[in-house]
Amino acid sequence: MVPDRPGLLVHNAAEIATLAGGVRRGSTQDDVALLASGESGGGGPDDPALAAYEGRIVAVGRLEDVEAQLAEMGISESAITRLDARHGTVTPGLIDPHTHLLFAGTRHAEVELRQRGHSYLEILAAGGGILQTVRMTRAATDDELLDHGRGWLREMLSHGVTTIEAKSGYGLDTATELRLLALAGRLGVEGPVEIVPTFLGAHAVAPEFRDKPNAAEAHLDYVINEQLPQVVEQGIAKSCDVFCERGVFEASLARRLLMAARDAGLNVRLHADQIQPSDGAELASELGALSADHLGSVTDEGINWLAASASGPHPTVATLLPIASFYLAEKHDAPARRLIEAGVPVAVGTDFNPGTSPAPNAQLAMAFAVHRLKMSAAESLSAMTINAAAALGIAASHGSLEVGKHADLAIWTVDSHALLPYWLGANLVRSVVKRGRVVYAADDTPG
Ligand SMILES: [Zn+2]
């Protein structure tokens, strides 16, 4: 083992996609702020390099300039670990802005039910779907949930991910929702993958309320009056989410919860217009939500609302989850091209969850953004770095390789970021750095 030194110098990169310059929208979504190696290639003084010290980036640019900057700062060679990128691409560590990390059990049986024509909402109405996961999650011990979380976090990390959002939402009762948030917080402290926890007590109507009149409203009152104050007091969740969908929580109910959450000091986001148009994009924009997620059935009006938000100082990010729409064989994919053309910042996530996207691989989400949503490779990289950071409210410190930001990066076996979504299903990670430390290195990788 190389001893930990406070400094890190990444050299011999074919290119560094810095993503410098802030949140991407419109034509800038396609600009990854690339530093490319010179004609000579192979570790010359003109080649792009990056230095970090005590977890933060201190220099990005030509190797010669980066070394000069380190010398000027009085940082000696002995304080620096040199990391050879072996002529691979360097990008910010990927950020997955939408996961349901913590749950118990699997739902593979639903695949065949759907193939025989039963819809997601039908399976839910019959007590399957989320409700099956809720039963198993409530029954799971803390250790079982932690083991599960650690295992999938390792898998995410090995695919280049350094930060994720993790939602509660498979408890639906107060005790389990608080437990899921506490466990997510604990896994984030353990690291190395950083976790931004989200409260999703309104993921579905809890079994206790399903036979009551106005079941959705009764569950929502319970979330607002009992769960939310305790979640705020617990202090782990950074935002509040709701499954806003016709037949689950209508927009009027979602608005009540999100306004209460906002008043209590949480950021808000929502599952919006996933299966049917449900005024989710409109509501997200109106409330200044960090993100509107899914958007497979967003209307023209909804896009107009998001576009209006995008021209303001705190744009609502459209977080698209193309693996889920593929997995559910949805008729509509989210209209990524129209959103980008309207100037809406687009992020992409895996939606990792047991029912509609059992997929921890962020590279696959980028590939689906390209091959199903018709985004460019560069647009998909912006979507899983700086724009994903914006969707989580952490773009000031995460999501790009700029001086002062956290030194979270991925080094890839391929020599161009354009190849990341090209090799479908292959893991192209060479190594992953979190806060300036190498936290994952592939043994022997292609390229
Ligand atoms: Zn989700």
Three-state DSSP at 407 gives coil
Rounded CA-CA distance 96/392 in Å is 9
Neighbours of ion ligand 1 (CB under 5 A): 351
**Ligand 1 midpoint to CA 342 (Å):** 24
Tens digits of per-residue pLDDT, 77-89?
999 999 999 999 9
Rounded CA-CA distance 387/342 in Å is 16
Query: 242: how many CB neighbours lie within 10 A of its CB?
Result: 30
**Ligand 1 midpoint to CA 167 (Å):** 8
**Ligand 1 midpoint to CA 222 (Å):** 21
pLDDT value of position 446 = 45
**Ligand 1 midpoint to CA 327 (Å):** 13
**Ligand 1 midpoint to CA 293 (Å):** 8
**Ligand 1 midpoint to CA 203 (Å):** 9
pTM: 0.96
Question: Which candidate, 150, 155, 151, places its Cα nearest to that of 190?
Answer: 150
Rounded CA-CA distance 409/262 in Å is 32
Which residue is it, tokens 């759907």?
A: 114
**Ligand 1 midpoint to CA 268 (Å):** 14
Sequence-ordered list of residues with C-beta below 8 angstroms from that of 143, at least 6 positions apart, any chain = none
pLDDT value of position 438 = 96
**Ligand 1 midpoint to CA 98 (Å):** 6
Question: Which candidate, 13, 162, 16, places its Cα nearest to that of 84?
Answer: 13
**Ligand 1 midpoint to CA 239 (Å):** 14
**Ligand 1 midpoint to CA 127 (Å):** 19
H/E run at residue 272: strand 267-272
**Ligand 1 midpoint to CA 404 (Å):** 32
**Ligand 1 midpoint to CA 355 (Å):** 10
Q: Residues 181, 170: contact at Cβ < 8 Å? A: no
Rounded CA-CA distance 408/194 in Å is 10
H/E run at residue 280: helix 280-287
Cis geometry, peptide bond prior to residue 192 (ω within 30 degrees of 0):
yes
**Ligand 1 midpoint to CA 97 (Å):** 10
**Ligand 1 midpoint to CA 180 (Å):** 15
Rounded CA-CA distance 325/310 in Å is 24
pLDDT value of position 121 = 79
DSSP 225-267: IIIHHHHHHHT--SEEEEEE-TTSB-HHHHHHHHHHHHHTT-E
pLDDT value of position 219 = 97
**Ligand 1 midpoint to CA 354 (Å):** 10
Rounded CA-CA distance 210/216 in Å is 8
**Ligand 1 midpoint to CA 181 (Å):** 16
Phi and psi based region of residue 399 (left: phi greater than 0; alpha: psi -120 to 50; beta: remaining) = left
**Ligand 1 midpoint to CA 100 (Å):** 6
Question: Which candidate, 51, 16, 14, places its Cα nearest to that of 405?
Answer: 51
pLDDT value of position 40 = 55
**Helix crossing, 251-263 with 280-287: angle to 10°?**
20
Rounded CA-CA distance 119/125 in Å is 10
Q: Residues 324, 358: contact at Cβ < 8 Å? A: no
Q: Residues 400, 385: contact at Cβ < 8 Å? A: yes
pLDDT value of position 3 = 58
**Ligand 1 midpoint to CA 419 (Å):** 28
Structural tokens at position 240: 């509040």
**Ligand 1 midpoint to CA 352 (Å):** 8
Rounded CA-CA distance 190/150 in Å is 9
pLDDT along the chain (447 residues), means of 10: 81 97 97 85 82 98 96 95 96 98 94 86 81 96 98 98 98 98 98 98 94 95 98 98 94 98 98 92 97 96 97 94 92 94 98 96 98 98 98 98 98 97 95 97 66
**Ligand 1 midpoint to CA 284 (Å):** 15
Q: Give me the sheet containing 437-441, strands edge to edge.
A: 34-36, 15-17, 89-92, 409-412, 429-434, 437-441
pLDDT value of position 330 = 83
Q: What are phi and psi of 259, to 5 degrees?
A: -65, -40
pLDDT value of position 75 = 95
**Ligand 1 midpoint to CA 52 (Å):** 34
H/E run at residue 305: helix 300-310
CA 139 to chain CA centroid, nearest Å: 27
